[in-house]
């Protein structure tokens, strides 16, 4: 620590009086015997003196003015922003009060509406979607009136509400596409919706349209006989009776709906287990067995949504060879499938 280079390092703190007393003694002892260090110290002290006595520059006279002008501008900006929101009170307060009332009323209305919707069960919502307009009481037509227009036509697509010939005939089985009388009722649609989980929008909209058409028929005063026939048809088919019950519950007019009859013939190898396999295929296709065959019978009747008949074909094809595959055009509603093997 007492070497020349070490002492030289201490000269700078020594010149600035930033040195400990111990180091100070060491430096002073060394300086007595080292002229180079004394010269170095003199130069350092001179430099330090120059630094400390450097004259300071003066700020320009406009500096304070400029600074304060900017500061006041900043303050004005801040204040005016506050003023824009809260002042003048005699204008702002009424507007803000009205806005508050409006917001509260809107909130109350929305809350009430949400509560009403929550109180309705989910099934009613489905009914709402396919809701038929409320029943219209039609006064009995005059005896000799050949054509009467319904007071309210649910479907604007049908300007002429006279009953088509197909509808005048008794409920035909096996020709669903040709006659609107075979269109599914809202109850059947709901059943479909339950089956499908409302996944196919097309298949849900089309029956609605058909239902409207059917309804227009029932509203027509020209077809009182048709209504009676349709009512008779309801007795024959449990599906239709269910639809009629639903229609009675919802207040809609009774609708005659008959499931499509289809027949599938197939050859199976495992005849003993055929029924079990076919039943499983029907269930997998979203259908249900409605008539269980007696023992040793090779015929079963199942009910299945029409839009899943193709899936039934595929499932049955895994069991055996389909000999006779029916053709059908209507993709909505239900079908009664007779499977013969």
Partner 1 sequence: MGVDTIDILDDTALAAACRKGDTVAFECLVRRHQRMLLNVAFRITGVYEDACDVVQDAFIAAWRKMSDYRGDAKFSTWMTAIVINLSRNRLQKLQVQAKRTSYSLNETFPGGDCAIIQDPPSGRPSALHQLEEEELRNALNSCIEALTPEFREVIVLRDMQEMSYEEVSNVLKVREGTVKSRLFRARDSVKACIKKRLGSL
- 203 beta partners: none
* Cα–Cα separations (whole angstroms), residue 327 to 42, 175, 278, 331: 118, 11, 20, 11
Inter-residue contact 281 to 311 (CB < 8 Å): no
Task: Rule CB under 8 A: say whether 67 interacts with partner 1.
Answer: yes
Exposure letters 57-70 (e unless 16+ CB within 10 A, then b): eeeeeeeeeeeeee
Stretch that binds partner 1, among 28-36, 55-63, 117-125, 134-142 (CB under 8 A): 55-63
- Selected binder of partner 1 within 20, 70, 123, 271 (CB under 8 A): 70
Stretch that binds partner 1, among 49-57, 244-252, 280-288, 317-325 (CB under 8 A): 49-57
* Cis before 88? omega within 30: yes
Inter-residue contact 229 to 217 (CB < 8 Å): no
Stretch that binds partner 1, among 64-72, 153-161, 194-202, 260-268 (CB under 8 A): 64-72
Inter-residue contact 300 to 289 (CB < 8 Å): yes
* Sheet (strand 299-305) strand order: 288-291, 299-305, 334-340, 260-268, 320-324
For residues 6 to 25, the per-residue mask of contacts with partner 1, x marking binding by CB under 8 A and - elsewhere, is ---x--xx-xx-x-------
Counting Cα atoms < 13 Å in the Cβ hemisphere of 197 gives: 2
- Selected binder of partner 1 within 24, 31, 34, 44 (CB under 8 A): 44
Task: Rule CB under 8 A: say whether 28 interacts with partner 1.
Answer: no
Inter-residue contact 298 to 274 (CB < 8 Å): yes
Dist CA 65 CA 300 (whole Å):
103
Counting Cα atoms < 13 Å in the Cβ hemisphere of 49 gives: 6
Task: Rule CB under 8 A: say whether 297 interacts with partner 1.
Answer: no
- Selected binder of partner 1 within 25, 29, 42, 291 (CB under 8 A): 42
Task: Rule CB under 8 A: say whether 75 interacts with partner 1.
Answer: yes
CB of 83 to partner 1, least distance (A): 14
Task: Rule CB under 8 A: say whether 142 interacts with partner 1.
Answer: no
Question: 18 or 28, CB closer to partner 1?
Answer: 18
- 266 beta partners: 322
Stretch that binds partner 1, among 44-52, 88-96, 177-185, 291-299 (CB under 8 A): 44-52
Question: 27 or 219, CB closer to partner 1?
Answer: 27
CB proximity list for 164: less than 8 A, separation 6 or greater:
180, 217
Stretch that binds partner 1, among 70-78, 97-105, 220-228, 271-279 (CB under 8 A): 70-78
Question: 78 or 236, CB closer to partner 1?
Answer: 78
- Selected binder of partner 1 within 34, 48, 173, 231 (CB under 8 A): 48
Applying CB under 8 A, the site for partner 1 has a residue count of 32
Task: Rule CB under 8 A: say whether 310 interacts with partner 1.
Answer: no
Instruction: Give the binding site for partner 1 (CB under 8 A).
Output: 9, 12-13, 15-16, 18, 42-44, 46-48, 50-52, 54-60, 63-64, 66-68, 70-72, 74-75
């Amino acid at each position: 620590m007492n070497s020349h280079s070490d002492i030289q390092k201490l000269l700078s703190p020594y010149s600035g009086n930033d040195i400990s007393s111990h180091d100070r003694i060491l430096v002073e002892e060394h300086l007595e015997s080292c002229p180079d260090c004394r010269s170095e110290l003199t130069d350092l002290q001179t430099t330090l003196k120059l630094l400390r006595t450097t004259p300071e520059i003066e700020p320009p006279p406009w500096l304070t003015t400029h600074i304060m002008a900017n500061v006041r501008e900043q303050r004005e900006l801040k204040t005016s922003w506050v003023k824009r929101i809260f002042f003048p009170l005699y204008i702002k307060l009424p507007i803000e009060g009205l806005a508050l009332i409006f917001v509260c009323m809107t909130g109350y209305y929305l809350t009430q509406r949400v509560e009403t919707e929550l109180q309705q069960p989910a099934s009613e919502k489905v009914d709402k979607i396919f809701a038929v307009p409320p029943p219209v009481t039609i006064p009995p037509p005059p005896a000799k009136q050949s054509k009467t227009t319904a007071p309210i036509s649910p479907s604007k697509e049908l300007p002429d509400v006279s009953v088509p010939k197909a509808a005048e005939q008794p409920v035909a089985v096996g020709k669903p596409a040709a006659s609107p009388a075979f269109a599914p009722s809202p109850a059947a649609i709901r059943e479909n919706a339950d089956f499908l989980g409302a996944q196919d929008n097309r298949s849900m909209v089309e029956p609605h349209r058909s239902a409207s058409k059917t309804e227009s028929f029932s509203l027509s005063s020209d077809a009182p006989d048709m209504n009676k026939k349709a009512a008779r048809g309801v007795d024959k088919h449990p599906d239709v009776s269910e639809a009629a019950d639903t229609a009675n519950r919802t207040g809609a007019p009774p609708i005659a709906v008959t499931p499509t009859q289809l027949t599938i013939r197939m050859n199976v190898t495992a005849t003993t287990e055929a029924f079990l396999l076919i039943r499983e295929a029907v269930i997998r296709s979203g259908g249900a067995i409605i008539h269980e065959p007696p023992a040793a019978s090779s015929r079963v009747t199942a009910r299945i949504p029409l839009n899943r008949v193709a899936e039934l074909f595929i499932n049955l094809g895994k069991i055996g060879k389909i000999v006779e595959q029916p053709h059908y055009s209507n993709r909505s509603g239900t079908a009664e499938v007779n499977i013969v093997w």
